[in-house]
Amino acid sequence: MENRTARMTFLIDPRKKQLFEEICSQQDLTSSQVVRRLIHQYILEHAGSRELPGWLTTPAASPKTQ
């Protein structure tokens, strides 16, 4: 995981948030871990011809060990 962090704030329907957190909990993951994974995958899938840094393209450790 990166050494520095930045905060991202977004709005979500409360029912979706509740369900999302329940599912994350059942998988022994935090919602932040899952959102980071989703963002990482989205970048990889939609970067197009952009040159991505090595820290982004190397396989990440399992979220449970982060």
Whole-number pLDDT of residue 59: 72
Whole-number pLDDT of residue 4: 81
Q: Given pLDDT bands bounded at 50, 70 and 90, which one contains residue 60?
A: low
User: Is pLDDT above 90 for 3?
Assistant: no
CB 3 within 8 A of CB 38: no
DSSP structure class, residue 55: H
User: Is pLDDT above 90 for 66?
Assistant: no
**The model's pTM:** 0.76
d(CA 16, CA 1): 26
